[in-house]
Chain A
Amino acid sequence: MKKIHIVILVIVAAGISIIAASFGQFSSYQTFETASKEPGKKLYVIGFLQKDKEMQYDPKKDPNHFIFYAKDKQGNINKVIFNGEKPRDIEKSEQIVMMGYEEGGSFHCSRIQMKCPSKYKKDMVAEGNNG
């Protein structure tokens, strides 16, 4: 075997193991219920805005604090605290993907992506806050 083949083999093996190890960093889509079993762990929850419940956002008090209620795919309703400005047009969203963690009965989230109905499809996905 040539020297270069050995070197390449080592590099490829290292590369594959790094990539394989990085799989552990991938998150998963959960529900509020499974999220509450692992409090403090960051994950994604797919849900829907509860329009009949109150939304709280008072930028005068704190521009980084937005509270709303969301229903997940299992039908559980949970309070969500978002550390950022109220995403524009969240009222029109038909689905929201929330990234955050469950703690003390509410979901603390630092990123929101929304899916809006096709009428507003140009604003289909919006990001709340980088995190």
Chain B
Amino acid sequence: MDTQFIGEHLRPGQLGHFFVITSFVASMFSAFSYFMAVRTEQKDPLASRSWLLFGRGGFVLHTATIISVFVSLFYIIENHLFEYHYAWEHSSLSLPGKYLLACFWEGQEGSFMLWTFWHCMLGLVVMRTAKGLETRTMAIIAAVQVCLCTMIIGIYLGPDIQLGKTPFALLRNVMRDAPIFSSPNYMSFVQDGNGLNVSLRNYWMVIHPPVLFLGFASTLIPFAYCIAALWKGEFQTFIKPTLAWSLFNGAVLGTGIMMGGAWAYESLNFGGYWAWDPVENASLVPWLVLIAGLHTLLVYKATGRALTLTLVLLLLTHLLVWYSTFLTRTGILGKTSVHAFTGDGKALTYHLLIVIGLLLLLTIAMLIRRWRGLPRIKTEEETLSREFWMFIGSVILFLASIQIAISTSIPVWSPLAKWISGKDFAPPTDPMLHYNNIQVWVAIIIGILSASVLYMKFKNSDAKTLGKRLGLTALIGAVMAAGIGYSQRITTWQYDIMLFAACFGIVANIYYGIIVQKAKFKNLGPSVAHLGFAMVLLGILLSSYNKHAISYNITGEIFNPGKKTAEENAKENRENEILFHGVPVAMGDFIATYEGDSESITGKDRIDYYKVSFERKDSNSNKVLDRFVLYPDAFINSKGQGVLTVNPSTKHFWNYDIFTYINGFTPDKGRIDTMSYQSHIFHNPGDTAHLQNGYMVFMGLNREINDKRYIPKDSDLAISAKLMVYDSSTRKSTELNPLYILRDKQYVVNVEDTLPNMNLYARFESIVVKSQDSVSTEIMIKQTDPKDDFIVLKALVFPFINVLWLGVIVMVLGFFISLGNLLGRQLSKG
């Protein structure tokens, strides 16, 4: 007999699962109906029309149920129903409300749902706008939705084969072997969930995944349009919508990728915004291919050339998104990535491979079917035409993405390579150098092309005007590059050329926008996007080339192509610095001091904030030029047996950032009370006592007390001691005034005085009056050893990183200006 379990809420999960299944069936129905609408298009327009309506209805139902799935899962998470594995795994009672959404997409199932959701939203827009291409595009979109639904359907095809993973699985079913689940009241033991991974607990986790997934999802639309065009065998109507969607896609996916970079930079301790990490590459590669396809599409629109390459690139973009899902979700990158993705094992691997295989098959079949009939132009392009160079630029972008994809996919192809060559391939020992050495040339070529291509016209350009304009802007760019290169000491020649390409791009696109296009806003899209791209190049170069640890120096290491011995590199890697409490340490131009820590406790989790002050002084006048305090924190999770997670803290200046994070701290926090007070007797003013890092001078006693800490009473006898404490490290003197109060002639109240910088506690213990001239004052002194309180800090400087962020914003703006212009023209045409 089945056990009756107590305290479970089964309804939301049952409803949720019902919605998943309905959604799956609805997407199948929609795909089939749209497909039938295409089939009957010629023969029976009336039937085609009704199939179309069925298809629409199916897709709307599919969308509605996907939203219901969302609501059901959110209800479970929000109400902390830990009988559900998903809620137990990803949320906890102490999790602040704003992160409930974040734990929604922390898991595999949730992120597939997010992806499905965006496809629905985009699909609804396509349904309303695709007109003559609606049946075909929507058939593709709905078919892809069928594939995605299988990812979250979680039904068993056999005793051991589960298709997809449902987010509504019960904890007791997932962990069937654990003995507590055999007891009917197991819920009374499951009080709290695992909680969200601490390094994911920030606002980036709330906004980054939706944007990135919108970027991934919108690759489906150009894909669908390209397939639709091939299917129909008609290659004109698809141009405009595909262009509009590719622009949107480029903007959103670009934003998503750089948000990931900003997140890594702001709150993860990877030590930078880009590390050529496999997971980062997996989203960059589709973007590069998309941008290449966008440009060849423009060529096709203007000249009728490059259709084949356009189709290949835009179709490939969406396939690459699936491939990157395969890389990041199946755990195949386990050995090579710092991102903590866990594999869901073989089931997901095969599942994704089947989906990718089906989509690839569809793509190839469609291409082969129409290959001979694709419109091509026999004549030659002029060398001075825009299309000639755009085509070359696209091919180079495509090759660049292939290089990144091959290096990233090492774990995928290494078993084969091992079988052939016997060598067990591993990633390069210095991945940054590996990618940078190759991609710097791509940056140079693309930078120069994006600077000059707008000056050329489609078909042919006037060589004289072109030469004059390019010569002038290149000259200004070169002067700018020389100035920056000299002042920023960029000495590696490849990077000097890249610097020129970036400066040329900035000058040329500003000049083009203002002088040639006369700053007409609606036409500015391309030049603004190219300007943003050039700024991104400049920002990357400036911030990364001179990125250095001020806790130790590693300047230029990742950019230095010269072979160094391993020892030299190892020496340069010593980036950590130990800071003892109150002891100033030189860090670059700054003097850094660890001033102390404070705790904040949210729920059961403790966060320690470490206060580190930075001061920059003028070396001659000793005047303080800059002073700021950073609070890098360390987080101790109450559940993971004291697992430590740290968040960095960054100070932003207009021209550089200082980025710090904690790598370690005093293991034992109870240290202060382990030290005991020691007695010092002072007889006369001028008597001194030695301290660990200075000394204390007794200046005398005072009956006149003006102290906020003391509220006088009539019966009190109150005395304060005046103590001057000299700190030999800061060379400053501070006065301390501990109080001795005899209240009602009966009992003594001691008011301590403390000097936090020196960890010094002084208590006025007693006073003995022997005669008028002989008074002995007993002061109890406690000083904790500063060596018992320390942090291990890493501090990095990123110069001019704001140029990068600004460049990204400008580039995305350029995409949207172009998109607005395109849609505006369409609207005005009716």
Contacts and interface: CB of A to CB of B under 8 A. Distances in A.
A61 to B, nearest CB: 9
A67 B640 CA distance: 25
Interface string B409-446: 01000000000000111111110001000100000000
Contact of B406 (A19, A41, A100): A19
Interface stretch (B280-288, B515-523, B574-582, B806-814): B574-582
Interface string B787-805: 1001010000000000000
Interface in B176-214: 197
Given A26-B428, A88-B643, A63 B664 contact: yes
Q: Which residue of A40, A130, A131 has the most chain B CB atoms within 10 A of its CB atom?
A: A130
B429 A42 contact: yes
Contacts of B425: 26-28
B644 A88 contact: yes
Interface string A8-20: 1001100100110
Contacts of B565: 40
Given A40-B566, A43-B426, A83-B574, A15 B342 contact: no
Contacts of B337: 125
B625 interface: no
Contacts of B578: 59-60, 63
A45 B402 CA distance: 28
A101 interface: yes
B270 interface: yes
A26 B410 contact: yes
A27 B571 CA distance: 21
A95 B340 CA distance: 14
A122 interface: yes
Interface in B560-598: 565-567, 569-571, 573-578
A44 B664 contact: no
Interface string A90-128: 000000010111010000101001010010111111110
B360 interface: no
A84 interface: yes
A84 to B, nearest CB: 7
Contact of B424 (A7, A28, A41, A115): A28
A113 B338 CA distance: 8
B399 A27 contact: no
Interface in B386-407: 388, 391-392, 395-396, 399, 402-403, 406-407
A85 B434 contact: no
Given A15-B403, A22-B407, A124 B790 contact: no
A31 to B, nearest CB: 10
Nearest to A118: B342
B573 A110 contact: yes
B570 A83 contact: yes
B640 A120 contact: yes
A19 B403 contact: yes
A94 to B, nearest CB: 12
B489 interface: no
A29 B578 CA distance: 33
A7 to B, nearest CB: 6
Interface in A31-73: 40-44, 46, 59-60, 63-64
B577 A63 contact: yes
Interface residues of A, number: 54
A43 to B, nearest CB: 7
Contacts of B566: 40-42, 100-101, 103, 108
B700 interface: no
Contacts of A40: 565-566
B663 A12 contact: no
B575 A129 contact: yes
Contacts of B275: 130
A130 B380 contact: no
Interface string B248-289: 000000000000000000000011000100000000000000
B428 to A, nearest CB: 5
A103 B574 CA distance: 19
A27 B426 contact: yes
A120 B427 contact: no
Contacts of B407: 22, 26
Interface of A: 2-4, 7-8, 11-12, 15, 18-19, 22, 25-30, 40-44, 46, 59-60, 63-64, 83-86, 88-89, 97, 99-101, 103, 108, 110, 113, 115, 118, 120-127, 129-131
25 contacts: A3-B380, A4-B380, A4-B392, A12-B395, A15-B399, A15-B403, A26-B428, A59-B578, A60-B787, A63-B578, A63-B663, A64-B576, A86-B664, A89-B643, A100-B566, A101-B566, A103-B566, A108-B566, A110-B570, A118-B342, A125-B337, A125-B338, A127-B338, A129-B573, A130-B270
Those 6 A-B pairs whose CB atoms lie nearest each other, nearest first: A15-B399, A42-B429, A64-B574, A63-B576, A85-B663, A27-B426
Given A26-B427, A44-B426, 4 more contacts: A11-B392, A22-B407, A85-B663, A85-B792
